[in-house]
Amino acid sequence: MALIEVKVPDIGDFKDVAVIEVFVKSGDAIKVEQSLITVESDKASMEIPSSHAGVLKELKVKLGDKINIGDLLAILDGVDAVSAPAAAPAASAPATPATPAAAFPDSATANAPVMSATAAASSATPSTSVGAGVVASASGLAINAPAHVPGGTTVGLPHASPSVRKFARELGVPLDELKGSGNKGRITQEDVQAFTKSVMSGATQTKAQSAKGGSGGDGAALGLIPWPKVDFAKFGPIERKEMGRIKKISGANLLRNAIMIPAVTNHDDADITDLEAFRVSTNKENEKSGIKVTMLAFLIKACVAALKKYPEFNSSLDGDALVYKNYWHIGFAADTPNGLMVPVIKDCDKKGVLQISQEMSELAKKAREGKLGPAEMTGATFTISSLGGIGGKYFTPIINAPEVAILGVCKSTMEPVWDGKAFQPRLMLPLSLTWDHRVIDGAAAARFNAFLGQILSDFRRVLL
Ligand code: CAO
C-alpha cells in the first residue's frame, strides 16, 4: 500500500485560514471527496475534501492551525490507487471565490463553495460505500460532520453548510436535533434561528434539557442552590410512586410557565344572580334534550366577548412581536384521574352556549377516559380553569404558554352586596385573572375583569 500525501487544494483567496473543524481521525477510512476539515477566514468558511481514498494514517493539522494552498493536510495509506485521479477536480471545487458571509446569509452565492463540495461528495459516493464505520467514526469526532448518501439523504448526521454549523456552534445549538427545511433536508440558518427561538420560548427542549428532568430540573440551570435531598424514610414509613406520564409532562410545562412568565393575578367578583337563574330555568326547559347548560359555557362566551374587546389577551409573544389571533379557541382545565388536561373548544365565537356546553361535556368525558386526540388539546388562545364545582374562593392559575392570560373561577356564593341603600343577597362568582405582564398592563387586566363582570351580570351585553 502506497502512502499518499493529501495537500490543501487551490482555495482561492483563502490565505492563512484557520482550521475550525476536524471531521476525521487516524484510522478512519477516507473516501475521495470526503470532507476532512473546515477552514474559516474572516469572511467565510469552507470544507476541504480529500483528494484521495485511503485509511488516514496521520492528520497533519489540528484545530486552530493556519493553512495555505499546498500545505500537507494528511497522509493516507492508499487503498485504491485508481481512485486518485478522480479526486483532482473535486479538490478544486471549493476554490470558488468566497462571498462575504458575516451575517451568515443562506443565499446560494454565499454557500457556493460549500454546496459544490457537498454536491461533489454526494455524487462521487456510491450508496453502498457509505459504510456505517465511516459514519460512526466521523460522528465520534464531530457530530455536525455531513455524511451523505446519493440523493442527499443524511446518514445519522446533520446536513448543513459550514457557515450554518458555525452559526449553530456559536449559539450552542445541537444540530443533530434539528430537521432541515432546505433542499434535501439541509439545515438552514433559519432552521437554527427557529430552533433557538423555540427553545428560548420554552416550546422546545433540547435533549440535554430533557435529560436534566424537564425545565431546569434541579434548578442548576437557573443558578439556584440544589433541591433539598432528604431521606424521608429516616422520619417515618414512606411509599414511593413514579408520577404518571401526563403529570410529568404538565409538571414540566407548568414549571417553565411559572418561571418564565412575569405573571400577575387580579381577583374580582362577578354578580351572576340573574345569569344563574337563567341557567337553571334553561336547564329545566331543556331537560329532555339531555344537554345541561353549565356556568362554564356562559363564562366561555363572556370571555370571548372580553377577548374581542381586549385583543392583547388573545395574543401570543413571538420575540419582540405580538401575534394577535383572529380566532377564539378556548381551553378549559379538566381534572382527570391521570392529572390535569386542557381540552380546547374551537371557534367559540361562532357557537352558542348550548353547543359549547355539549362539546365541553364530550371533551371532558374524553379527557377523563384518556381518549383526547392531539387536535382536541391544541390551538387554544385563552384558557379557563374552573374549580367552581369543587369550592374555594380565589386562586392563582398558571398561564398556559404561549397564551398570555388565564381565568381562574371558583365557587359562587350568596353574599350581601350594598346597592347604595341596602345590602342585597347576590350570587357572587370569584374570578382570578392571571396575565403576562410583558404583554398586558394592570389597568388592562382590571378593565378586562370589570368588563367580564358586566357581561356576567347582564348577559345581554354579549350581543352588543
Ligand atoms: N359556582 C358554584 N357552583 C358551580 C360552579 C361555580 N362557579 N361551577 C360549577 N358549579 C356546579 C355545577 O352547577 C354543578 O352543580 P349541579 O350538579 O348541581 O348542576 C357542579 O358544580 C359540578 O360542576 P362540574 O364541575 O361537573 O361542571 P363544570 O362545567 O363546572 O366543570 C370541568 C367541568 C371539566 C371544568 C370540571 O369538571 C373540572 O374538571 N374542574 C376542575 C378543573 C381544574 O382542575 N382546575 C384546576 C387547574 S389548576 O390545577
Closest residue by Cα to atom 7, ligand 1, is 388
d(CA 138, CA 411): 62
Please say if 437 is a catalytic residue: yes
pLDDT at 137: 22
Interval between CA 145 and ligand 1 midpoint (Å):
55
Interval between CA 417 and ligand 1 midpoint (Å):
24
Identify any residues that bridge with 346 across adjacent strands, giving them in sequence order. Answer: none
Of 282 and 161, which is predicted with more confidence?
282
pLDDT at 42: 67
pLDDT at 238: 97
Closest residue by Cα to atom 32, ligand 1, is 334
| Mean confidence (pLDDT) of the chain | 80
Report pLDDT digits (tens) over 213-240.
544 456 777 788 888 999 999 999 999 9
pLDDT at 16: 87
pLDDT tier, 170 (very low <50, low <70, confident <90, very high otherwise): confident
Least confident of 211-225, 329-343, 383-397: 211-225
pLDDT at 131: 24
Q: Is the pLDDT of residue 105 over 70?
A: no
Closest residue by Cα to atom 25, ligand 1, is 389
Q: Is the pLDDT of residue 149 over 60?
A: no
Cis peptide before 402 (omega within 30 of 0): yes
Ligand 1 atom closest to 429 (CA): 7
Is the separation of the CB atoms in 24 and 141 below 8 Å? yes
Q: Is the pLDDT of residue 33 over 80?
A: yes
Q: Is the pLDDT of residue 107 over 80?
A: no
Report pLDDT digits (tens) over 423-451.
999 999 999 999 999 999 999 999 999 99
The alpha carbons of the chain give a radius of gyration, in whole angstroms, of 31
Is the separation of the CB atoms in 412 and 388 below 8 Å? yes
- Report DSSP letters for 2-32, one per residue: -EEEEE----TT--SEEEEEE---TT-EE-T
Q: Is the pLDDT of residue 29 over 80?
A: yes
Report pLDDT digits (tens) over 239-286.
999 998 888 888 999 999 999 999 999 999 999 999 999 999 999 988
Interval between CA 375 and ligand 1 midpoint (Å):
23
Mutate to test the pocket of ligand 1, among 386, 390, 398, 452 (most ligand atoms within 8 A of CB): 386
Average pLDDT over residues 34-46: 78
Give the residues surrounding ligand 1 with Cβ less than 6 Å away.
Answer: 294-296, 332-335, 340, 364, 385-389, 397, 409, 411-412, 429
Q: Is the pLDDT of residue 96 over 70?
A: no
pLDDT tier, 181 (very low <50, low <70, confident <90, very high otherwise): confident
Average pLDDT over residues 133-153: 25
Q: Region of 216 please: left (phi>0), alpha (psi -120 to 50) or beta.
A: left
pLDDT at 210: 67
Ligand 1 atom closest to 409 (CA): 7
Identify any residues that bridge with 266 across adjacent strands, giving them in sequence order. Answer: 433
Ligand 1 atom closest to 397 (CA): 48
Ligand 1 atom closest to 364 (CA): 34
Interval between CA 282 and ligand 1 midpoint (Å):
18
Closest residue by Cα to atom 36, ligand 1, is 334
Least confident of 193-207, 303-317, 354-368, 450-464: 193-207
Q: Is the pLDDT of residue 44 over 90?
A: no
Interval between CA 389 and ligand 1 midpoint (Å):
3
Q: Is the pLDDT of residue 367 over 80?
A: yes
Of 55, 9, 67, 5, nearest to 30 (Cα)?
55
- Pick the most confident of 3-12, 140-149, 438-447: 438-447
Mutate to test the pocket of ligand 1, among 296, 300, 358 (most ligand atoms within 8 A of CB): 296
d(CA 445, CA 463): 22
The position carrying cell 337553571 is 280
Mutate to test the pocket of ligand 1, among 294, 376, 395, 431 (most ligand atoms within 8 A of CB): 294
pLDDT at 1: 67
Of 332, 331, 320, nearest to 439 (Cα)?
320
Closest residue by Cα to atom 15, ligand 1, is 389
Q: Is the pLDDT of residue 45 over 60?
A: yes
Least confident of 33-42, 54-63, 345-354: 33-42
Interval between CA 409 and ligand 1 midpoint (Å):
9
Report pLDDT digits (tens) over 241-251.
999 888 888 89
d(CA 38, CA 22): 7
Q: Is the pLDDT of residue 102 over 80?
A: no
Ligand 1 atom closest to 294 (CA): 29
pLDDT at 211: 63
User: Which residue in the list 52, 159, 329, 437 is annotated as catalytic?
Assistant: 437
3 state DSSP class of 304: helix
Least confident of 37-51, 219-233, 412-426: 37-51
108-124 and 83-91 helices cross at what angle (nearest 10)?
180
Closest residue by Cα to atom 5, ligand 1, is 388
- Pick the most confident of 79-88, 169-178, 201-210, 445-454: 445-454
Interval between CA 386 and ligand 1 midpoint (Å):
6
Interval between CA 378 and ligand 1 midpoint (Å):
22
Average pLDDT over residues 116-142: 26
Q: Is the pLDDT of residue 100 over 50?
A: no
Of 74 and 156, which is predicted with more confidence?
74
Ligand 1 atom closest to 395 (CA): 48
Ligand 1 atom closest to 334 (CA): 39
Q: Is the pLDDT of residue 157 over 80?
A: no
Q: How far is CA 26 from CA 39, 54, 76, 346, in A?
A: 19, 11, 9, 59
Q: Region of 336 please: left (phi>0), alpha (psi -120 to 50) or beta.
A: beta
Closest residue by Cα to atom 49, ligand 1, is 340
Q: Is the pLDDT of residue 206 over 60?
A: yes
Interval between CA 257 and ligand 1 midpoint (Å):
24
pLDDT tier, 43 (very low <50, low <70, confident <90, very high otherwise): low
Of 462 and 385, which is predicted with more confidence?
385
Closest residue by Cα to atom 46, ligand 1, is 385
